[in-house]
Amino acid sequence: MSLIYLIFKLTAVMASGALNMIDNFSTGDTVITVLAFSCFAAAEFLILRIKNAPAVASVCSCVSVLAALMFYSDNKLFIVCFGIIYAVEYFGAGKLFWQISGVAVLIMLVVLKPPPIHIAILLIMLSLLVTAKITSQKLDECRKSLSEIREEAVQLNRKITRLEEYEKTLKQSAAIEERRRFSARIHDKLGHSISGSIILLEAAKLSVRTNPDNAEKCIATVTDNLRSGVDDIRKALREERPDSKLIGISELKEILDSAKAKYGIETRLEIKGDADKITFQIWNCIKENLVEAITNTLKHSKATEFSLTVTVLNKIIRAELRDKGGGSGRIKKSTGLTAIEERTVLAGGKCVFLMEPSYFAIINIFGNQEKL
């Protein structure tokens, strides 16, 4: 039973009491009776809400109806009608609730033949009952929908957690596999060469006095083998070393995607020009400034969009971090903005802050240097 339903029942009890007083019933008895019935209605509401015991609540309703029939022996219209409606609802009329209740009320009107004023008040109360019941049903539906939505949210959060764990596992597995593959490559390229060189050095050690020429040939062969092995290692390192461009873009995308997933903010990354010209130091500076800028946006702005645009020109590299929060007035450099500015200067660049009504932007400008 909803709170609206309780208010309606209390209103109906008070209306019945008011009619009794109009019909010259004892004022004291009427007030006491109204208070008693109100207590029964409140008890029914609390029992259903707190204890969820429909059987006990129905006892309260039955007692209140019987008592009403005893006290209001000359004015039974409201008690009988609402008692019948309650019984129809309690015993599960389902979809036929309105039809059965309407027929029952019409029968009572024919049998009891109340005065017109009572009929008018009864119709008003029935209108309020219909409104209260429909509103109560809507509220119950909303609560049920909200409960289902919360359950779905819990399930989605669990799925997200599992996906994050799965992603971590994949990254760890990929890293382990990469290490295994690299170690196997080094072993294949260098292992046999070093093993053969050790054997030749042992042979040279044995023959250095008895056969110096043979020892010299062994040492020359070992030297060539080791030189070739070192070249193979350098070649492997060059081939296995990831491009700073790919690392930089990948890290920026990961930061933006993480902010979008965790905080629901739309993010965008745009790279213009030849990103190969961006040094590792500048990539690292842009990455750290991006993390700081997103943190500031979440703390101090209500922005729903955040973008990073990196533009590589002939002589400069320009990185613009922009959120669509905007603002007005003077820019106050917080600890985060000061850290961004200092970090940019240490990387050989300059930092500019722009605040407009529709956006706030942090612009980093670096000199275009040769890639390290």
Give the tens place of pLDDT for each residue, 22-74.
Answer: 665 566 666 666 666 666 667 666 766 666 666 665 666 666 656 655 555 45
Q: Which residue has the tokens 């799925």?
A: 159
Lowest mean pLDDT among 42-46, 163-167, 218-222: 42-46
Instruction: Indicate the CATH number of 163-240 among 1.10.357, 1.20.1260, 1.20.5, 1.10.3470.
Output: 1.20.5
Mapped onto helix, strand or coil, the DSSP state of residue 349 is strand
> Residue 288 — very low, low, confident or very high, per pLDDT cuts 50/70/90?
very high
What are the residue boundaries of the structural domains of the chain, listed by start?
3-145, 163-240, 244-367
Which pLDDT does position 250 carry in this prediction? 85
DSSP 8-state secondary structure symbol assigned to residue 277: G
Give the integer Cα–Cα distance in Å for 218 and 195: 13
Which pLDDT does position 334 carry in this prediction? 78
Higher per-residue pLDDT: 258 or 127: 258
Q: Which residue has the tokens 């109806």?
A: 65
Q: Which amino acid is at 69?
A: L
Average pLDDT over residues 326-351: 83
- The token pair that represents 10 in the structure block: 């209390």
Q: Is residue 282 over pLDDT 80?
A: yes
Give the integer Cα–Cα distance in Å for 92 and 100: 11
Q: Which amino acid is at 141?
A: E
Which pLDDT does position 41 carry in this prediction? 66
Which pLDDT does position 59 carry in this prediction? 63
> Residue 372 — very low, low, confident or very high, per pLDDT cuts 50/70/90?
very low
> Residue 370 — very low, low, confident or very high, per pLDDT cuts 50/70/90?
very low
> Residue 285 — very low, low, confident or very high, per pLDDT cuts 50/70/90?
very high
Instruction: Indicate the CATH number of 244-367 among 3.40.50.150, 3.10.580.10, 2.30.130.40, 3.30.565.10.
Output: 3.30.565.10
Q: Which amino acid is at 155?
A: Q
Picking from 215, 306, 195, the residue whose alpha carbon sits closest to that of residue 260 is 306
How many Cα atoms within 13 Å fall on the side-chain side of residue 132? 18
Higher per-residue pLDDT: 313 or 161: 313
Q: Which residue has the tokens 């250095």?
A: 208
Please write the tens of the pLDDT for every residue from 89-112: 655 555 666 667 777 777 777 776
Higher per-residue pLDDT: 54 or 252: 252
Percent of the chain with pLDDT over 70: 64
Task: Indicate the pTM of the whole model.
Answer: 0.47
Q: Is residue 13 over pLDDT 90?
A: no
What value does the mean pLDDT of the chain take?
76
How far apart, in Å, are the Cα atoms of 55 and each of 36, 40, 41, 94, 249?
20, 14, 14, 18, 66
Which pLDDT does position 134 carry in this prediction? 74
Give the integer Cα–Cα distance in Å for 22 and 4: 27
Please give the backbone phi and psi of residue 364, each rounded to the nearest 5 degrees, phi first: -105, 130
Which pLDDT does position 371 carry in this prediction? 42
Helix (H) or strand (E) holding 31: helix 27-46
Q: Is residue 197 over pLDDT 70?
A: yes
Higher per-residue pLDDT: 17 or 200: 200
Q: What is the dihedral of CA 340, 342, 348, 351, to 10 degrees?
A: 50
Higher per-residue pLDDT: 95 or 268: 268
